[in-house]
């Protein structure tokens, strides 16, 4: 009970110091998760209800965003569509992070032939236009959520790999890594304690951006008829279905597109906010957009709580202390090392 109270007080403390940008992001994340896990809490309508008497009607009290070509409530469909979109975004970006990050950090740290070969593969994978690659895979494997997650995870892994590798490569030359190497600690320990915590910053910035890409890509593939097939609901399938009704019922089509745009925009914005809060000196704040400053405080220094609060929660404070000895280098955020 007291633990819960402590957490609550911490959360309230965070909320007071977070600033509007972070509050909006957290609110949106909570809304998204609720919509994905318990969509029935947000709407009482059945997303698949067919109603021949209310086809393509405009917004009303019973249908806030109107109805679609089968008389189903558009808002309910959007809410129920969140689940698969979120699963796709989190799944693909998560796999990419879990595979790409250790692989990239290790390759960058070790160097040598393996690094060279892996980097070549990553470069050529990134040369594949996402849509073309997806078309190729879907053409032979068929369209399903798993196929989509696989396609995106594969391409995203190459991206995470490139970023993590560049970061580890830069870290390798730093004194604290040399010192750790010379001190004779085990390599796994060196990686876990010194290399990974310092290399992860740019990857944490990249992950929400990849999630945004996943959502936009899903919409695009659905538009081409290569996405998740009905009766599964995703934002992409809603957008595709709405294509023919722009004139009859603009709310329908505009709402479907706006949901994708706003979600992707918020995710990209989240990447910027993370990038800002990870950079203690904010010297390279230019590497990604700094979010608009709401307070009149000078942009030079910001009180500690904001930086601490937005970072990943660290239950083990001793590790945190050790890690903070080694400074985090903020690399060029989302650009992902285009040159090689």
Partner 1 sequence: MARGLLVVWWVSALVFLALRLTPGNPALLLLGPEARRPGVAHQLVLLERQLGLGRPIPVQYWLWLKPLLEGKFGNSDLSGRPVVSLIGGAAPPTLWLIGLSVLLSVPIAIGLGVVAARFRSSVLDRGVRFVSTLGLAVPPFWLGLLLLLGLAVDAAVLPANGYVSPLTNFGGFITHMVMPVTTLTLYLVAVLTRFVYSEVTESLAADYVRTARAMGLSEMKVVFWNAARNALIPMVSILAASLGPLVGGAVLVEQVFGLGGLGELLLNSVVDRDYAVVQGIVIFLTIGIIVLQGLADVLYRRLDPRVR
Enumerate binding residues for partner 1 (CB under 8 A). 116-117, 120-121, 123-133, 135-141, 212, 216, 219-220, 223-226, 239, 243, 246-247, 250, 253-254, 257, 260-262, 264-265, 268-269, 272, 284, 286-289, 292-293, 299, 332, 334-336, 338-340
Token duo for residue 67? 């109805």
CB of residue 135 to partner 1, shortest distance in Å: 6
Number of residues that this document lists for the chain: 340
Burial class (CB in 10 A: 0-12, 13-18, 19+), 142: exposed
- Beta carbon nearer to partner 1, 120 or 319: 120
Closest CA to 222 of 155, 136, 134, 141: 134
- Beta carbon nearer to partner 1, 197 or 202: 202
Within 10 angstroms of residue 137's Cβ, the number of other Cβ atoms is 17
What is the Cα gyration radius of the chain? 22
User: What is the residue-wise DSSP string for 108-138?
Assistant: HHH-HHHHHHHHHHHHHHHHS-HHHHHHHHH
Q: Are 104 and 163 in contact (CB under 8 A)?
A: yes
CB of residue 78 to partner 1, shortest distance in Å: 14
- Beta carbon nearer to partner 1, 178 or 299: 299
Query: CA 220 from chain center: how many Å?
Result: 18
Q: Which helix (H) or strand (E) holds 233?
A: none
- Beta carbon nearer to partner 1, 135 or 190: 135
CB of residue 255 to partner 1, shortest distance in Å: 11
- Beta carbon nearer to partner 1, 104 or 197: 104
CB of residue 264 to partner 1, shortest distance in Å: 4
CB of residue 114 to partner 1, shortest distance in Å: 12
Instruction: Give me the phi and psi of 313, to 5 degrees please.
Output: -65, 130
CB of residue 279 to partner 1, shortest distance in Å: 13
- Beta carbon nearer to partner 1, 295 or 317: 295
């Amino acid at each position: 009970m007291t633990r819960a109270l402590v957490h609550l007080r911490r959360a309230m403390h965070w909320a007071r110091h977070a600033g509007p940008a972070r509050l909006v992001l957290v609110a949106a994340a909570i809304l998204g998760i609720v919509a994905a896990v318990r969509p029935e809490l947000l709407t009482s309508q059945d997303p698949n209800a067919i109603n021949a008497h209310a086809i393509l009607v405009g917004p009303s009290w019973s249908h806030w965003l109107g109805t679609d070509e089968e008389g189903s409530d558009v808002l309910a469909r959007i809410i129920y569509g969140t689940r698969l979109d979120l699963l796709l975004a989190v799944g693909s970006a998560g796999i990419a992070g879990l595979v790409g990050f250790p692989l990239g950090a290790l390759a960058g740290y070790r160097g040598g032939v393996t690094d060279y070969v892996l980097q070549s593969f990553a470069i050529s994978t990134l040369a594949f236009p996402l849509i073309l690659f997806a078309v190729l895979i879907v053409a032979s494997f068929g369209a399903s959520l798993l196929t989509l997650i696989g396609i995106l995870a594969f391409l995203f892994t190459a991206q995470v790999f490139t970023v993590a590798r560049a970061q580890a490569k830069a870290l390798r030359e730093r004194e604290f890594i040399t010192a750790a190497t010379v001190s004779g600690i085990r390599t796994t320990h060196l990686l876990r304690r010194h290399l990974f915590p310092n290399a992860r910053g740019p990857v944490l910035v990249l992950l929400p951006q990849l999630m945004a890409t996943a959502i936009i890509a899903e919409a695009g593939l659905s538009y081409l008829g290569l996405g998740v097939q009905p009766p599964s609901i995703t934002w992409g399938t809603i957008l595709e279905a709405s294509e023919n009704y722009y004139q009859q019922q603009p709310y329908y089509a505009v709402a479907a597109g706006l949901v994708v745009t706003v979600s992707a925009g918020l995710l990209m914005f989240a990447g910027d906010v993370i990038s800002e809060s990870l950079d203690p000196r904010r010297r390279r704040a230019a590497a990604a957009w700094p979010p608009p400053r709401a307070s009149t405080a000078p942009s030079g220094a910001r009180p500690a709580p904001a930086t601490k609060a937005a970072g990943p929660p660290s239950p083990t404070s001793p590790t945190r202390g050790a890690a903070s000895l080694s400074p985090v280098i903020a690399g060029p955020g989302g650009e992902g090392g285009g040159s090689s």
